[in-house]
Structure 1
């Protein structure tokens, strides 16, 4: 089935996405399984977890087979039941999992990792540059205060501050994360016997986002970096992520390694036509930057809020509330930082708690 630029390779997944229902567990290749895990209470509905079955640790007859599980999904009792049932369909159980590889630190990818590690004893791995909020663990008050200060500096009116900034319960959720047992470097093979799956560092969506290239099966697992329809969110959120949008463009440039491979994204459905989709994502994102430039050139915007409210949003700016509004503001800020790096010279203050950046846009 043709979808303008890409070719859908998983018709049942595509139809399930269109119908807003969960797709089935599927065997993509011998030893490669796709298991949708519910993303409870979110319009994305599910995360596509992938299971990669390797060899026995010591070769033929040398012990238990090794298995990698990629992006176990949002943590919930419902999700755990679905994940374990999916593993059973693949002839596996949680105890068979050797390693848990997470493409990036977002709860719809990392969330189930702790529960799965407890059940399996498997190690958990993230990209070597992915940031975890461990620096906030000892000071929730500072976390809340500085987050609120960020949005105040971005020009958010007082009546919106409570809904866009993180609260104490958010601190608890974000800091209830253990350090991964392994960090994976760009170009490294994941350490699971019998697999030839290489790490591809793709910062942008997060500072340490990774994709995985299954060289034996000619598959590329793209996490949230490249999805078939949805444009990944790239925002100025994480500490020390200086230019997330610039990183994102650089990461799109290196996707040619999977140009002829089938794409296994973390949401929606599988497809071919990676480079056509990459070109589309690049143009869509540049068009947003051009829209930001037009707002700046009009000369009336003095803050991130002022710019955001003049941009085109699918249901209009006034419809954005709560976390969605937060994401819209952080996306706008990322464009301002990117444009600054490209030499724009109109001053807009952009801060991320500590440190504060004064960006020449």
Structure 2
């Protein structure tokens, strides 16, 4: 059994990782992940950050002071490459830009989502969430309880990345590797001159990232299928040292990518078996309640139940794409049934 090396934020310190790369742990208040590892890469124009951390005064102080402890000044930062739009990665990018004039870069697919977030009002967001939960089969009480207060949208990027683009980092070769799944525009960043891969949330050493589908009943995307393909792509890069956004730095990203892929393939097999045993086709919400999580379903908070439903939906959609399950026609909310082989 794998032993976790995850340590609390209080035990984390800024580190010089060699080859002009540094890491700064930035806290995520109230989140069990504890912190985001923000990386700085040396550049003659000033350091370029990989991610920026959560938008909170304590997080800002940790980023500013952590860089200072390494001999770097946040006002000298020349750019921020955000691996994906989630708030523990993109939250402070705007404040870094205000302090330094740095550019912000994000993959074009996530940049489109950030623009959409800026166009949404809070009431629109809550209404969208509640309706999505009801269409997945959640009751009115669950739908209302799981509707989250919307966080502020991250800063709009100045630059948009595509797969294979080189980041503006003079003297180094930092290449964007599009790895959709966790978000549509997630990127890993390959520091080709040092055989290192900044993996964001795509490949983590001990846990697996959330792979959900939103709205839950979409039938035009396959985020889990995208994620599995992205894992295979990372595997082909070879045994690079991985610099993830959470937990700890680890060797041989290819081996870990293969391990995560196996985890999801096993989960798909088990879910298909559960559906084959059901007399009545379940809703997405009922499917989530049947699946195995790190805690029993009745012990999950409303927010975590909503995330579990998103992940159940992504697994159902992947099985649908493979022809293993299908949607029951003419019913609301949507239900899935096992198909004959």
TM score, norm. by length of structure 1: 0.85
Question: Are 1:149 and 2:137 an aligned pair?
Answer: no
Question: How far is 1:18 from its partner?
Answer: 4.0
Question: Are 1:319 and 2:296 an aligned pair?
Answer: no
Question: How far is 1:19 from its partner?
Answer: 5.6
CA distance in 2, matches of 1:241, 1:70: 31
Matched positions, count: 331
Matches within 5 A, 1:101-112: 101-112=81-92
Q: Which secondary structure does the structure 1 equivalent of 2:160 belong to?
A: strand
Deviates more, 1:139-148 or 1:75-84: 139-148
Question: How far is 1:229 from its partner?
Answer: 0.3
Q: Deviations over 1:178-199 (max 9, x none)?
A: 3210011111110122221111
Distance 1:109 1:191, change over 3 A: same
Matches within 5 A, 1:1-361: 17-18=6-7, 21-55=10-44, 65-130=45-110, 131-135=112-116, 137=119, 139-166=121-148, 169-170=149-150, 173-174=151-152, 176-237=153-214, 242-299=221-278, 300-347=280-327
CA distance in 2, matches of 1:346, 1:30: 51
Q: Which secondary structure does the structure 2 equivalent of 1:162 belong to?
A: helix
Question: How far is 1:256 from its partner?
Answer: 3.1
Distance 1:146 1:285, change over 3 A: same
Q: Tell whether the 8 Å contact from 1:49 to 1:69 is kept in structure 2 after alignment.
A: yes
CA distance in 1, matches of 2:120, 2:10: 41
Q: Tell whether the 8 Å contact from 1:66 to 1:192 is kept in structure 2 after alignment.
A: no
- For structure 2, the 5+ residue unaligned runs are none
Distance 1:271 1:27, change over 3 A: same
Question: How far is 1:94 from its partner?
Answer: 1.3
Distance 1:135 1:25, change over 3 A: closer
Q: Which secondary structure does the structure 2 equivalent of 1:306 belong to?
A: helix
Which structure: greater strand fraction? 1
CA distance in 2, matches of 1:108, 1:35: 13
Q: Tell whether the 8 Å contact from 1:72 to 1:111 is kept in structure 2 after alignment.
A: yes
TM score, norm. by length of structure 2: 0.90
- For structure 1, the 5+ residue unaligned runs are 5-13, 56-64, 350-355
